[in-house]
Amino acid sequence: MAALPVYVQAPAYYAGEFGVSLAAIGWVLFAARLVDTVQDPWLGRWVDALAQRGRLTGVLAASAVVLILAFAGLWLPPLRGPVLAAWLAAMLILACTAHSVLQISHLAWGARIGSPEQVTRAAAWREGLGLLGVVVASILPAKLATQHDAPFALHGYVAGFAVLLLLGLALLLRAAPSWRGVRSAVTPAWRAAWARPAIRRLLLPYFLNALSVAIPATLAMFYINDRIEAPASAGLFLGGYFAAGAVGLPAWTWLAQRIGAARAWRVGMVLAVLSFASAGLLGAGDTTAYAVVCLFAGLALGADLALPPVLLAERIPAGEQPAGYYGVWNLIGKLALALSGLALSGLSLLGYQPGVPASGGLALPLLYAVLPCAIKLMALWVLSRGIIAVQENAA
């Protein structure tokens, strides 16, 4: 419920509601996400050390409180005028840092709960429930922000998020399976992830794939508002996309157990390109066609969410703590998000103006749909070469 508003809805909210320039938002997103990117390997190693000493509980609780406060500050800024861009940057950095601690801990916890089959099933459940939160975040903020009493309504949304986050954390700490091997495991330097060929081969395709997802996520609200010209349906489009991802998760889990997670992920990439490329051809009023694109692209999203963490978990040595590896993993994903923020500045340079549908010519559909599909195909090629290399080494 935090990630989607932060990465997808906040840029359009600050541009439309407060008049912050698109170029400024693009650079703010890039800078804030770059800070978030650089810190993740160290956060992962820190989480490993805390878990090994049994001191993770307090840090998770403090991170949840910081995330709640920063999330509230993001949606309900007390400032206006030129300093608003600086406020946005500060809230993004605080929210992303707290979110990273919680996310890295959660991913690492899931990598150490049992056999590979249990890890795969747990990943599917984790991402499925995460997508449920994303569906809620797709619909509510977009609806609430357009109401007359938007500030009051957004207060309610922030309060609801706070209650659910604290409840979820309490359930995790009280009822989750134990983090196996914590006391005896080695805490690796984050460089170990780069040093292991089996893990290193995953990093470039993961980065390219994450970039292919991050660019349209950053531009989605602008595309819906000014290309499809259906801002009132934004919540439905986003909700359908993520709901389809949740529905498809069991199928990807089933497929991964039969042909392997890497090959199943490649199938998902092909489906994503086949379904999303047509978005570049759509225009004003093509709401039904775009809804179909969202559903099929959402089905492919399930593979992107569930399978890459499983591939990483399979490659982490049994005697080592996993959070350091997931810190590097998060770094790669956050770097993709940071670079995607520059797409907003690129749109501004190409003449696009939010709220002016005809501005920028084909810049918006090209950056939103065509470029991500080209990057996704590169990810597919690199991942395929990595699988071949692994098979040749095994032979």
Q: Which residue has the tokens 């508002």?
A: 225
pLDDT band at residue 151 under the 50/70/90 scheme: low
pLDDT given for residue 393 in this prediction:
43
φ, ψ (nearest 5 deg) of residue 20: -70, 135
On the question of pLDDT at 57 being above 70, the answer is: yes
On the question of pLDDT at 270 being above 50, the answer is: yes
Give residue 283's domain range: 3-179+187-394
- Segment 288-293 shows an average pLDDT of 93
User: How many domains does the chain divide into?
Assistant: 1
Cα distance between residue 245 and residue 200, in whole Å: 27
- Our separate counts of H helices and E strands in the chain read 15, 0
Cα distance between residue 60 and residue 108, in whole Å: 13
Q: Kindly report whether the global pTM for this prediction surpasses the value 0.75.
A: no
- Segment 37-44 shows an average pLDDT of 76
CB atoms within 10 A of CB 121: 18
Across all residues in the chain, what is the average pLDDT?
A: 80
Give DSSP secondary structure letters for 307-349: HHHHHHHHHS-TTB-SHHHHHHHHHHHHHHHHHHHHHHHHHHH
On the question of pLDDT at 150 being above 60, the answer is: no
Cα distance between residue 254 and residue 276, in whole Å: 24
pLDDT band at residue 381 under the 50/70/90 scheme: very high
CATH code for the domain of 75:
1.20.1250.20
- Segment 60-89 shows an average pLDDT of 87
Instruction: Tell me how far apart the 2 most distant CA atoms of the chain are, in Å.
Output: 66
pLDDT band at residue 395 under the 50/70/90 scheme: very low
pLDDT given for residue 388 in this prediction:
47
On the question of pLDDT at 43 being above 70, the answer is: yes
pLDDT given for residue 391 in this prediction:
44
φ, ψ (nearest 5 deg) of residue 67: -65, -40
pLDDT band at residue 180 under the 50/70/90 scheme: low
Say which residue, 362 or 186, is predicted with more confidence.
362
pLDDT given for residue 389 in this prediction:
47
Residues whose CB is less than 8 angstroms from the CB of residue 89 and which lie 6 or more positions away in sequence, other chains included: 28, 31, 32
Cα distance between residue 395 and residue 390, in whole Å: 9
On the question of pLDDT at 221 being above 70, the answer is: yes
Residue among 99, 160, 137 at smallest CA distance from 8: 137
Give pLDDT tens digits for 89-118: 888 889 888 988 888 888 777 776 766 677
pLDDT given for residue 392 in this prediction:
37
Give pLDDT tens digits for 323-344: 667 777 777 887 887 788 788 8
Share of residues in the chain with pLDDT > 90 (%): 17
On the question of pLDDT at 16 being above 70, the answer is: yes
On the question of pLDDT at 171 being above 60, the answer is: yes
Residue among 138, 194, 101 at smallest CA distance from 5: 138
φ, ψ (nearest 5 deg) of residue 353: -125, 125
Cα distance between residue 354 and residue 345, in whole Å: 12
- CA dist 34 to 29, 30, 92, 167, Å? 8, 6, 11, 30
- Segment 294-323 shows an average pLDDT of 82
